Amino acid sequence: MIFNNKILLVDDDSDDLEIFISTLKEIEPGVKYSVANNGSEALDYLLRSDSMPTLILMDINMPVMNGLECLAEIKKIHKLKSIPVVMLTTSTDPPTSKQSLKLGAKLFLTKAATLKEIKLQLQMVLAEQLAVGF
């Protein structure tokens, strides 16, 4: 798979970020990414950036501005609303999943427990994005 797009990773957990980054690099060695530690940082980055990411992977439970609040704001802003957002969480709460999708998330994923499962999730997300031509 050749992935020439940029990903914005939004998560306040440095361990999770490290795992996602190393796994993304394993799947796609040339992957480009940026990091934000909460929804507020993500919005600031998106509003100031000249180069939009083609995918956002965002945790739900974060301080300052959580992922659902950030997602709602992203979908209100014309230049941002078409960016696919995949919501990630440790929760398996069906109402949270429904709310994410209602707000415009492309996908809701419960964070996998093992590195192998994380790799499979990320491969699936990247493959799906390539299949829809982003």
Output the average pLDDT for the chain: 86
- Dihedral angle sign, alpha carbons of residues 30, 34, 38, 39: negative
What is the secondary structure of 25-77 as a DSSP string?
HHH-TT-EEEEESSHHHHHHHHHH-SS--SEEEEES--SSS-HHHHHHHHTTS
- The answer for residues whose C-beta is within 8 angstroms of residue 6's C-beta and 6 or more apart is 32, 33, 34, 51, 52, 53, 54, 55
In CATH, which of 3.40.190.10, 3.40.50.2300, 3.30.460.10, 3.40.50.1480 is domain 6-128?
Answer: 3.40.50.2300
pLDDT for 26-67, tens place per residue? 888 877 899 999 999 999 999 998 888 989 999 999 999 999
pTM value?
A: 0.87
pLDDT of residue 132: 52
